[in-house]
Structure 1
Amino acid sequence: MIKKAVKMKVYPDKHEEYKRRHDELWPEMEQMLKEYGALSYAIFLDPETSTLFGYLEIQDEERWSLTAQTAINQKWWDYMADIMETNPDNSPVATDLLPVFEL
């Protein structure tokens, strides 16, 4: 199992909408995440800074990297682009975080 952490940004006035969209995650999106090796995926919000912290446990880094090329993932990025910081292809602006401690 590989552990990954990433930070992203949601617009300050879109916190509730971000949560709502994830509460209603499309079944085909959930299926794709699992098919590409997500064992666990959680996202946390710091409401003071609008920073999102994503924590993932995946099976294989190479397989996981292919999620970006799936049609459902690209559709999800397009769906989320109006409520968070994104790149020109609508992928979230994301920074990988480095592990420094684990108990």
Structure 2
Amino acid sequence: MVKGFKMKLYEGQEAEYERRHNLLWPEMKDMIHEHGGKNYTIFLDKETLTLFGYIEIEDEELWAKGADTAINRKWWDYMADIMETNPDNSPVSIDLQTVFHLD
């Protein structure tokens, strides 16, 4: 199963967002894999500061459980100062609809 979604950076935070992801915590990588995530890529539209995420997941329910892990909540808190977030510091994330796919 494939998920596509978008999020938004605050102005001037492009380099910091990339830096933090280049240093992604091993525990966060493990959580993503343990909850069925793989082949995870995030793209940036520099004109709009919109982030586009692409991830392959095994199961929607298993993936959703990752949001409630301590390491994920710690990551959200760590990232909250550089991107749009909800009151619980989760990123404002909008799922995107698949309209075309080619293997």
TM beyond 0.5: yes
Counting only pairs closer than 5 Å after superposition, residues 1-103 of structure 1 correspond to structure 2 as: 2-103=1-102
The alignment-based identity, stated in percent, is: 64
* TM-score normalized with structure 1 length: 0.98
CA distance in 1, matches of 2:46, 2:66: 28
Cα offsets for 1:19-63 (capped at 9, x unmatched): 000000000000110000012110000000000000010001100
Aligned alpha-carbon RMSD (Å): 0.5
- Structure 1 runs of 4+ aligned residues shifted over 6 Å read none
Cα offsets for 1:41-91 (capped at 9, x unmatched): 100000000000000100011000001100000000000000000000000
Number of aligned residue pairs: 102
- Gap regions ≥5 residues in structure 1: none
CA distance in 1, matches of 2:38, 2:78: 24
CA distance in 1, matches of 2:48, 2:62: 32
